[in-house]
Structure 1
Amino acid sequence: MEEQILVSLAQKLGLEGDRIIKKAAENMRLADIRGMSSSLSSLNLSGSCKAVMCLELAATAFGEHVDKMTAIRVSGMKNKKIYNSALRAIECLLDLQSKVTVTDLVIQFGCPEAKQLTLQLLQWHGEQNTTQDNVEVSQIIFNAAALYSVCRHMKHRIEKGKLIDITGVTRALFDRVVAQMDKILSDVLKHQKNIEQKTNKRCASFIEQLEKTTDEQSPIKKTRQMDNEEDEECFEIWKEKILQAAYKALGKSYPS
């Protein structure tokens, strides 16, 4: 019965070939299984509507073109926007969407300065979430949500609507993932601050000890013969060079 429906709809879409029908049937079965606990169920798509979309995805996989307006008409959807939104949801559910990396996103949205923190956020997210309960949530959503969270923290303007379009999920699902990323980002920033404070404390202690050591090794204390300004100036130059080298090794700017 399912195959007969697919064949009938395929003819209306101008598609031919058993391989497209078989692939579409496979897509439908997988969508039905995964869609039970996903955001797709909230779309209330009819069987014929899902069939048309699964046919379009199958055709795309084999390099076949499907006229968008014909697909919308045959599916019974109201308009192109609603159809595309549902199509992206199924595409995401089946993990058929194109792979978009963080690098791709920061280039597209013009925010390369957000890349490093976004990658760190994703690393923390991956460590805290080794398994995912929602099968419709794919890596592209995490990448986009992490970037959005970081850009918002950095006060860098980024078009949320375009990000959501790229992910192919509903706004509600995107917001849910962003909320998760916001919580993890807060932990990342706290961790960074603690490391910075500890590093600064160690650096200050090291510099203080180094200054003390250079004073103790002063030619004045060793020979008690620094009775003129020229010798003192030489010592200060020597001491400054030692401290400059120490600051440089620690990646710090030497205070002028």
Structure 2
Amino acid sequence: MSAYNKTLILIASKLGLNEEEKVLKKAAELERLLQTKSVAGSNLTDTSKFVICLDLAASVFGAEFDMKTAIKYSGLKPATYTNSRKILENLLELNSDRLTTSTLCLTVQCTGVQELADKILEEYSKQAKMELDLNLPQYVCMAVFQACRISKVKVAKTKLMEKSRLRPAQWSKLDADWTRFVDEKFAVAKKRGRPPKTTPVEENVQESMEVDEPKREIAEPQMESYEEWKRRMLEKAYKELALLEQTIADKAPSTPRRSPRKTPQKFSPYKSPKKNGVRLLFPLNL
């Protein structure tokens, strides 16, 4: 047991696997094989890798494995642990039920884009800056999705996201990266079609048609003389003035209008003139 890594032995003892020699040997083998492969976009620590390797080794030999304790010592959330375990399982080729473009196209009923999806995967592996395992489900699903997009084939996006085992944020990030790549390599090249070549006979026919076509003369607007314009404007003004006078005459009343102002009274009905200092309550001249 001393030949194994100390961290592996310590974690195995915490998980109750320190007596399982076959499991320890298989886990150490998987950990060494994992060092030769790169896990793209993964932030797994060495401890997390040891825990997952022990989990995979225990599943190979059918040994009991405490999943709750394993997630605790891995330092990962349950969903992240499950996703990382699946990625390492595919990377180490332990899963016989591997997802391929052919099986996925059959599942989502878009077999017509399988060849294009394979080309996209192959081209993406050439331009990748690091070694990638394109057999992982997220890459296979994204290749099929992009092939359907540029071929204008309707496909259930939710099914592809489910098969990829990615969260919506991870899918969106991968989709943006692949969309830029596919548009540069495939979609743009597809849109740029070469114009059809014309034969010399067709070119001569087009030139003769252009020569024989008569040019249309554009009629220039005639300028009105000043005298004509002055006469027309005066006639228009006289007509409008006559119409205005007729309208005013029609609206004028037939009888003269009385002034609303009343004739002022000589004496106020409420006041009487004073005489010899005596105020009279009625006027004298009756």
Question: TM class, shorter-chain normalised?
Answer: 0.5 to 0.7
Deviations 1:14-51 (CA, angstroms, capped at 9, x unpaired): 4343222122122223333434x8422xx1x3332221
Give the unaligned 5+ runs of structure 2. 197-286
Corresponding residue for residue 80 of structure 1: 78
Structure 1 residues 39 and 59, CA gap change in structure 2 (3 angstroms): same
Corresponding residue for residue 51 of structure 1: 50
In terms of Rg, which structure is larger? 2
Structure 1 residues 60 and 117, CA gap change in structure 2 (3 angstroms): same
Whether contact under 8 Å (1:102, 1:143) holds in the other structure is yes
Matched residues in 1 for 2:161 and 2:117: separation?
21
Structure 1 residues 190 and 101, CA gap change in structure 2 (3 angstroms): same
The structure where helix makes up a greater share of residues is 1
Matched residues in 2 for 1:118 and 1:162: separation?
19
Whether contact under 8 Å (2:101, 2:118) holds in the other structure is no
Matched residues in 2 for 1:4 and 1:29: separation?
14
Shift of 1:8: 3.0
Whether contact under 8 Å (2:104, 2:141) holds in the other structure is yes
Matched, 1:149 2:146: yes
Give the unaligned 5+ runs of structure 1. 199-256
Percent identity for Structure 1 against Structure 2: 24
Shift of 1:147: 1.3
- Residue pairs, 1:108-119, within 5 angstroms: 108=107, 111-112=108-109, 114-119=110-115
Amino acid at match of 1:154: V
Whether contact under 8 Å (2:121, 2:134) holds in the other structure is no
Matched, 1:180 2:193: no
Shift of 1:107: 4.3
Corresponding residue for residue 7 of structure 1: 9
Matched residues in 2 for 1:9 and 1:64: separation?
15
Shift of 1:89: 3.6
Corresponding residue for residue 98 of structure 2: 99
Shift of 1:122: 0.9
Whether contact under 8 Å (1:24, 1:54) holds in the other structure is yes
Corresponding residue for residue 221 of structure 1: none
Matched, 1:27 2:11: no
Higher RCO, 1 vs 2 (CA within 8 Å, ≥6 residues apart) = 1
Give the TM-score taking structure 2 as reference length: 0.51
Whether contact under 8 Å (2:90, 2:98) holds in the other structure is no
Shift of 1:165: 0.3
Give the TM-score taking structure 1 as reference length: 0.56
Shift of 1:74: 2.7
Q: 2:134 aligns with which of 138, 150, 163?
A: 138
Structure 1 residues 8 and 85, CA gap change in structure 2 (3 angstroms): same
- For 2:130, what is the secondary structure of its paired residue? coil
Matched residues in 2 for 1:178 and 1:63: separation?
42
User: What is the root-mean-square deviation in Å for CA atoms of aligned residues?
Assistant: 3.7
Matched residues in 2 for 1:158 and 1:188: separation?
25
Shift of 1:190: 5.2
Matched residues in 1 for 2:37 and 2:93: separation?
11
